[in-house]
Amino acid sequence: MFDKEIKKVSLVGVGPGDENLLTIKACKCIEDADVIIYDNLINPTILNRANMGAKLIYAGKISGNHYLTQDKINETIVSYALAGEYVVRLKGGDPYIFGRGGEEAEYLLQRGIDFEIVHGVSSFYAGLGYAGIPVTFRGEAASFHVFTGHRKQGEPLNLDFAGIAKLEGSLVFLMGISNLGAIVNGLLSNGMNPDTGAAIIENATRYNQRVFRGKLSNIEEIAKKENIVSPALIAIGNVCKKNLDFFKKDGLPLSNKNILLTATRSLTEKMAPEFKALGANVCEMSLIATKEMEIERDKFTLELELATHILLTSANGVDIFFEKIKKYDLDIRSLHNKKICVIGSGSASALKKYGVRADFIPSKFDSKSFLEEMVTELNEKSRVLMLRAKLGNDILPNGLKAAGIKFCDIPIYDTIIDYRRKFELNKEIKNFDYIVLASASAAKALCEMIEDMNALKERVVSIGPMTTKALMEFGIEEVITANQYDVKGIVDAIRKL
């Protein structure tokens, strides 16, 4: 009936939110997937691992509205599996802990489709841990009990509060924020001490985690005052009085600021640690990706041989350049008499990975400064090989031409907009203090995908004038522009605020 081989379906738990809690197997599933069907609780950074050819399907629930019903989710998984696609179903926490993963597994089993369960870290202990609350503690809680705080819409919460109130140890309620009143009243009316410790953790382990502590008697009031929303964990027990916090970073320059990085996956992975080291909570959502351009081997090797100077304008260009060297089986020693020039510190750092130091870096990391400073080092015998993006600006070629310098401009990669991220961008945008743009391409992608331009007001941080210019062309004028055109410059611009 079907021409293609039916592949195994992976039901994958991705933990409570922090991308660093992914298992190695979960990472591999995501990177290999043809189709990813994901829930509302998935951290957008995790989706950065998807390959560019993968189809991303949102199947979550927001404000009581299902984008896909469970029946439709089951049908979607099966239809893609039968079409020969490798389907990865991403679920927050663990698939078998209140995640309806069992229902999906049963549906697949009944239809003879092979599947696997990739277990994930559960929020009931990791979420508490990231809030500084140990789920057990000697002398305080020798056991823990986990409950769902959620029922089908309209149905009352059906829990045995008379029995639960008598339990010793920690009580954890998942997905229960909408039923917080019923949980509190159920425990109090059955004799639980109103001074028992209580806590709520919103968006546990994620970049936008919030933690609130109180007592059983006032935790509902706290939740209303702080406008706590789902997803949130409710913990009841005296372990909630412990504060073993390691996640919140106070006293650092960017402490607890939520920052969205929009560059390519490789660049966000390089940038993120620098922001995190300064206390920022980082979300990586690559709105753009690079696609290597095909170049005839003979043309590439000829221009490489003729060049006296090789100009690389980005870290992406550096990586692709060395991939070409490897692909065409060229001897790296053939570069010994070439001057390798880069436009900024990011490109210089990328070069160092390959054991090469840049011969030239301008004092300011932009095309204009590069041109003005580099031209003084060139003469009539020079020949510049520019390896850069397909849609690079005209400043460099026009400037070299005007100076009478021979050059060859070869597009080595193209930058494409990843429109798959539009939904996540608009869903998450309100959570960020700053949105970082490291290129004009990223600026264009952001402006083309954002639905509410007001959400960007006074929150967009640009790496430099070209990126700012691109934003202004879309009518965004309140832009924070870095004076130094690299990550340090971006960080300094934010710190000044």
ω into 273 cis (within 30 of 0): no
Per-residue tokens: 389: 């993006």
**Of these residues, 91, 175, 285, 374, which one is catalytic?**
175
Q: What angle do CA 209, 215, 216 make, to 5 degrees?
A: 100
Per the annotation, the verdict on 39 as an active-site residue is yes
Measured CA to CA, the distance from residue 122 to residue 95 in angstroms comes to 9
What is the C-alpha R_g of the chain? 27
**Of these residues, 7, 25, 55, 61, which one is catalytic?**
61
Per the annotation, the verdict on 224 as an active-site residue is no
Enclosing H/E stretch for 222: helix 219-225
Surface-to-core class of residue 230, CB atoms within 10 Å of its CB (0-12 exposed, 13-18 middle, 19+ buried): middle
Q: Are 233 and 209 in contact (CB under 8 A)?
A: no
Q: How many helices (H) and strands (E) does the chain have?
A: 18, 22
Measured CA to CA, the distance from residue 414 to residue 317 in angstroms comes to 10
Any bridge partners for residue 58, and if so which? 38
Q: Are 387 and 317 in contact (CB under 8 A)?
A: yes
Measured CA to CA, the distance from residue 399 to residue 375 in angstroms comes to 9
SS3 116: strand
Beta-carbon count within 10 A of 352 CB: 11
Per-residue tokens: 294: 């095909």
Per the annotation, the verdict on 61 as an active-site residue is yes
Q: Report the catalytic residues.
A: 39, 61, 175
